[in-house]
């Protein structure tokens, strides 16, 4: 028996079955000298038109393919291929291959994991377009008709979208990251999946017996009978728990002593909202609007944004908290050049960019205000560190309201405005901020990083990045106290809100709203229903006086 492990998991669950190695065609360009450059360009345009038609159909059922559609129709791609054909005298196949290689290298060189993942989308486009140029039929997983665990170097969204779910037990890939489209799809489909497993293809053969423990990040190859039996039992227990959670997911998050808690979901696009609504959420606690910008080839217009925000609030009847643009740091835009910074996480990012690019900010705020006429929209500012920033943002929002009033355009005049708490500065000044907003949302991902001066992406110090650190817990409690002093709602939208071990402690700290991954909604609601708020509050009160992780763990064991 061999065992492979990955550092980060992309979904939960256990799969046991035979391996199927899914290996794609390796397209090598034909070496020839063309006679007619116009004919080569025509071949390319015909191929992209066919692929565009296919992707348009796929995009009707899955928003993820909208990004692929933009890529295949990208003018920059066409221009570069044409340039290589006309000026470099390369045939269409070589010109296209070389252009794709350049695009892939550019995206893979980016620090931002999300943008790196776009390289996989470009490789997918290469496969699809080259297949049309060469008139070759691509393989797909829909032809599998026996229970199978798919093993691959990587999987494109089009691969996972065509999987026959009746027979696909799960998958593991050698490449990819947890932010890739395939991981998002795996979570949405409820498939156990692991990505980034080194040496996977070398270690696994067709028909090997495989166990994927997606919860813990382990892959077992040809396990012995005892190990198989052990994981069959674990799989059974996991499925029973998931079934029970699903059956009770519609129940509200009300504690045994009748404390009502809101359980919202974090989303990045319309597809996420559709999936979240199926999980019986109370609302959306974080709509990451930056994905609208990152998946575009230009700053989205007011009208383009309005249509998306409007659709969002029409799908979700509860509150939809939309965070204004949060780029910079590890998030970049292909069409906006950022200056090279020594410390991008401490630099030109989030609200700082919005206040600098005022016209762009106003377009977003106007779109948000207009969408509020169609549903329960709330606006949230990211990365506020000073009262001056908050007041300036609110002043620009007031300008937008006056403009809409003068144009007789409807919006909710009582729209709620809140801010992220994600820096030590915002924690220390929370009482002052609370007088000017309707709610706080604690972003524990960045807050933990800034409180502890730990880069969460640095493997050497990854164990120091810990939201259970007493300093972080004291900061969270301080923010909750400050918000409640001014009678405003305090929520949490960081990964810590999804942590089942932290749930009762946060409940006892009097957190009003948990905004979690939609796959965690049922579990968090279940824990809240099993809890006694007053008892949790009594235990959590001790958090105020702890100064070591050992003390924190002792308190967690009391719940």
pLDDT tens digits for 38-61? 999 999 999 999 999 988 887 777
Query: Lowest-confidence range among 331-345, 348-362, 445-459?
Result: 331-345
pLDDT at 242 over 80: yes
More confident site: 433 or 457: 433
Report the C-alpha gap between 433 and 448 in whole angstroms.
20
What is the reported pLDDT for 314?
96
Our answer to whether residue 316 is catalytic in this structure is no
pLDDT at 299 over 70: yes
Domain boundaries, the chain: 2-24+140-245, 37-134, 253-556
Count of H-run helices and E-run strands, the chain: 23, 15
For the domain spanning 37-134, the CATH number is 1.10.274.10
pLDDT tens digits, 82-117: 999 999 999 999 999 999 999 988 887 765 556 777
Confirm whether residue 446 is marked as ligand binding. Answer: yes
Give every strand in the sheet of 148-152, ordered side by side: 2-5, 218-221, 209-213, 14-22, 148-152, 168-173, 193-194
Q: Kindly report the pTM of this predicted structure.
A: 0.73
Confirm whether residue 288 is marked as ligand binding. Answer: yes
What is the reported pLDDT for 161?
66
Q: Running DSSP on this structure, what letter comes out for residue 466?
A: -
* Rounded average pLDDT over 303-307: 95
**Beta pairing, strands 218-221 & 2-5:** antiparallel
* Rounded average pLDDT over 341-354: 74
Task: Name the active-site residue from 181, 279, 316, 400.
Answer: 181
Closest to 235 measured CA to CA, from 18, 17, 13: 13
pLDDT at 306 over 70: yes
pLDDT tens digits, 9-19: 767 899 999 99
284 HSE (CA, 13 A, CB side): 34
Confirm whether residue 459 is marked as ligand binding. Answer: no
185 pLDDT tier (thresholds 50, 70, 90): low
pLDDT tens digits, 387-414: 999 999 999 999 999 999 999 999 999 9
462 pLDDT tier (thresholds 50, 70, 90): low
* Rounded average pLDDT over 137-154: 86
Give Cβ neighbours of residue 44 (< 8 Å, ≥ 6 apart).
Answer: 78, 81, 82, 85, 92, 95, 96, 129, 133
The CATH architecture assigned to 2-24+140-245 reads: 3-Layer(bba) Sandwich (3.50)
Task: Name the active-site residue from 183, 279, 400, 493.
Answer: 493
What is the reported pLDDT for 180?
58
Our answer to whether residue 181 is catalytic in this structure is yes
* Rounded average pLDDT over 247-267: 95
Confirm whether residue 445 is marked as ligand binding. Answer: yes
pLDDT tens digits, 514-547: 999 888 899 999 999 999 999 999 999 999 999 9
Q: Which CATH class is domain 253-556?
A: alpha beta
* Rounded average pLDDT over 255-266: 96
Confirm whether residue 207 is marked as ligand binding. Answer: no
pLDDT at 139 over 70: yes
**Beta pairing, strands 218-221 & 209-213:** antiparallel
């Amino acid at each position: 028996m061999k065992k492979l492990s990955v550092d980060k998991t992309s979904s939960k669950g256990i799969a046991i079955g035979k391996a199927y190695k899914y290996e794609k065609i390796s397209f090598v360009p034909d070496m020839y000298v063309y006679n007619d450059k116009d004919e080569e360009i025509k071949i390319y345009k015909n191929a992209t038109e066919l692929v565009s038609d296919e992707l348009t159909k796929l995009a009707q059922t899955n928003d993820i393919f909208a990004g692929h559609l933009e890529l295949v129709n990208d003018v920059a791609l066409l221009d570069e291929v044409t340039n290589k054909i006309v000026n470099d005298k390369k045939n269409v196949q070589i010109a296209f291959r070389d252009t794709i290689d350049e695009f892939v290298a550019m995206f893979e060189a980016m620090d931002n994991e999300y943008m790196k993942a776009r390289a996989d989308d470009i490789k997918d486009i290469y496969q699809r377009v080259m297949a049309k140029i060469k008139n070759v039929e691509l393989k797909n997983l829909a032809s599998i008709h026996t229970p199978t665990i798919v093993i691959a170097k990587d999987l494109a969204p089009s691969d996972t979208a065509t999987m026959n779910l009746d027979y696909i037990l799960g998958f593991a890939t050698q490449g990819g990251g947890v932010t890739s489209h395939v991981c998002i799809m795996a979570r949405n489909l409820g498939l156990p999946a692991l990505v980034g497993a080194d040496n996977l293809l070398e270690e696994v053969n067709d028909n090997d017996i495989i166990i994927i423990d997606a919860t813990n990040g382990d892959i077992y190859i040809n396990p012995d009978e005892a190990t198989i039996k052990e994981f069959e039992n674990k799989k059974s227990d996991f499925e029973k728990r998931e079934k029970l959670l699903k059956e009770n997911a519609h129940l509200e998050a009300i504690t045994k002593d009748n404390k009502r808690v809101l359980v919202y979901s974090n989303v990045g696009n319309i597809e996420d909202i559709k999936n979240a609504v199926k999980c019986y959420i109370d609302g959306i606690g974080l709509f990451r609007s930056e994905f609208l910008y990152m998946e575009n080839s230009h700053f989205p217009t007011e009208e383009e944004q309005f249509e998306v925000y409007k659709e969002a609030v029409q799908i979700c009847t509860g509150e939809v908290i939309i965070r204004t643009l949060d780029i910079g740091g590890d998030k970049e835009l292909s069409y906006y050049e950022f200056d090279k910074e020594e410390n991008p996480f401490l630099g030109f990012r989030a609200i700082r960019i919005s206040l600098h690019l005022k016209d762009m900010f106003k377009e977003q705020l106007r779109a948000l205000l207009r969408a509020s006429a169609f549903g329960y929209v709330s606006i949230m500012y990211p990365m506020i560190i000073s009262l001056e920033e908050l007041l300036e943002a609110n002043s620009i929002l007031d300008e937008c309201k006056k403009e809409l009033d003068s144009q007789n355009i409807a919006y909710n005049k009582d729209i709620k405005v809140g801010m992220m708490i994600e820096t030590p500065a915002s924690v220390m000044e929370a009482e002052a901020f609370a007088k000017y907003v309707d709610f706080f949302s604690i972003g524990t991902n960045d807050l933990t990083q800034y409180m502890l001066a730990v880069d969460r992406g640095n493997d050497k110090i990854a164990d120091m990045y810990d939201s259970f650190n007493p300093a972080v817990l004291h900061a969270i409690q301080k923010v909750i106290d400050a918000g409640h002093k001014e009678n405003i709602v305090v929520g949490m939208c960081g990964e810590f809100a999804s942590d089942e071990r932290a749930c009762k402690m946060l409940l006892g700290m009097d957190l009003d709203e948990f905004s979690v991954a939609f796959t965690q909604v049922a579990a968090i609601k279940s824990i809240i229903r099993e809890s006694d708020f007053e008892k949790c509050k009594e235990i959590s009160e001790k958090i105020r006086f702890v100064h070591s992780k050992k003390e924190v763990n002792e308190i967690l064991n009391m719940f």
